[in-house]
Structure 1
């Protein structure tokens, strides 16, 4: 018996700071081949919307669950068509958030984080290192 593939799952949660507050989508990880396809730049004959459409196709194949509803509150099916009915900005946001999750990129720092501040401890060279005694 061999080792069975079991893709990692990523649950993306959109909070109140996004254009889709309360939206949650769970996606399977990507294979190297799929990740390469997602990262490919637009081909010479492709428009930006062609790239977004290709992204919708890839996302649809990796979707495990989502809580998206239509304007009347009915659950939307997890299909390419449902994704194609969304605004391009949401598809791009999903794609970026998903790629960051796969890459292990954490969310933004908290607002009280001292990111970028200089450490209060000075680094001072007190002695000049001696030459190596090894010959």
Structure 2
């Protein structure tokens, strides 16, 4: 009997000082090959008047992310849940969606989260406390 790797789901929570505070997004991981294929799309810089090629790239990025999006607590203006689907993504502002996608990409690529608090500092190094006298 072989090993079956459990699916990894990342929970993205946005900071209290962020304008997206309170938003929680759950999204699955992606294969290494999928992430490598998606990497150029993550670096896409939209021009003021996006070209057809840029629009195709955005559409591909959204489709790929929709494939791993599991859930979110997003509601519309009528307090109705927004489905965690491609259609739900397409109903949102592009900058909002891109921030979510970039946060997810950081999480799955292993970028460590900020530390929870200050380091206690530890004890001074013994080497640093040995007097060094040059004669």
Give the unaligned 5+ runs of structure 2: 45-50, 120-127
Is 1:4 aligned to 2:4, yes or no?
Answer: yes
Choose which of 74, 84, 88 in structure 2 pairs with 1:82: 88
Give me the whole-angstrom Cα distance separating, in 2, the residues matched to 1:46 and 1:109: 39
Q: Which residue of 1 aligns with 2:25?
A: 25
Query: Partner of 2:71 in structure 1?
Result: 65
Structure possessing the higher radius of gyration over alpha carbons: 1
Higher helix share: 2
How much is the aligned-residue C-alpha RMSD, in angstroms?
Answer: 3.1
Match of 1:118 in 2: none
Q: Any unmatched runs of 5+ in structure 1? A: 114-121, 127-135
Q: What aligned pairs does 1:35-46 form with structure 2 within 5 A after superposition?
A: 35-41=35-41, 46=53
Q: Number of residues paired by the alignment?
A: 117
Describe the shift of the 1:108–1:2 C-alpha distance in structure 2 as closer, same or farther (beyond 3 A): closer
Distance 1:92 1:59 in 2: 10
Q: Is the 8 A contact 1:12 1:24 kept in 2?
A: yes
